[in-house]
Amino acid sequence: MKRGVPLSSGGWSFSLLTAIIQIVYLVAAGFAIYGFVLFIKLARRGIRALDIYLDEKSRSK
């Protein structure tokens, strides 16, 4: 009865592939965090602009 090829038979290629996947995952996580920070900055700026707009509207009445 034949058995399948074990996963560890790849040696270097398997560990290299795993390392590349982990690097790609870390880069993607970094971009996600960076995008979230930019979104928070944009939201704070939008809230500030809305406050200024509402303040100007309330003064003109």
Q: What is the pLDDT of residues 21-57, one digit of tens each?
A: 999 999 999 999 999 999 999 999 999 999 999 999 9
Res. 8 pLDDT band, cuts 50 70 90: low
DSSP 9: G
Res. 7 pLDDT band, cuts 50 70 90: low
pLDDT of res. 28: 98
pLDDT of res. 16: 86
Plot region of 11 (φ>0 → left; ψ -120 to 50 → alpha; else → beta): left
pTM here is 0.64
